Amino acid sequence: MISGTIFSILTPNAICLRSLYNGNNMSTEQDKFDHSRRRLKDDNAVKKQTRIAKGFGLPVDEPHKFAKRHAMDCGKPKCVMCGNPRKTFKELTQQEKRLFQDLDQVRGTPPAETD
């Protein structure tokens, strides 16, 4: 069995791993509360995506696959519904539109004099 001191010397994340090795997973009440809130947030997101999938008639065999993936995302980047509109429709971003508009107009020049 490896002692805690040797284990902490061998690892770069000694403080974190030493506390796990000694069995102190949650040191304070705030850590416990934050962990439970994180888990609840993930569970609520999975439930929401599961409801969306069932509403559209999609099969839900493994509900937890919606933890990092939306229900209506098919995963194809060229898809019209799921893909980026810049890539699909060759649209410009708002920032690019503003830039090109500014380049088309000449700013800071006085108006032409009329006689």
pLDDT-derived band at 90, boundaries 50, 70, 90: confident
Q: For 63-88, write each residue's pLDDT tens digit.
A: 988 888 888 888 787 788 877 778 78
Residue 103: its pLDDT value, please? Answer: 67
Q: 18 CB contacts (<8 Å, ≥6 apart)?
A: 4, 7, 8
| pLDDT tens digit sequence for 13-61 | 445 555 555 555 668 999 999 999 999 999 999 999 999 999 989 899 9
pLDDT recorded at residue 16: 54
Which residues are CB-neighbours of 69 under 8 A, at least 6 positions away?
49, 75
- Please report which residue ranges of the chain form alpha helices under DSSP H: 4-10, 14-21, 29-55, 85-88, 94-104
Nearest to 74 by CA among 84, 83, 65: 83
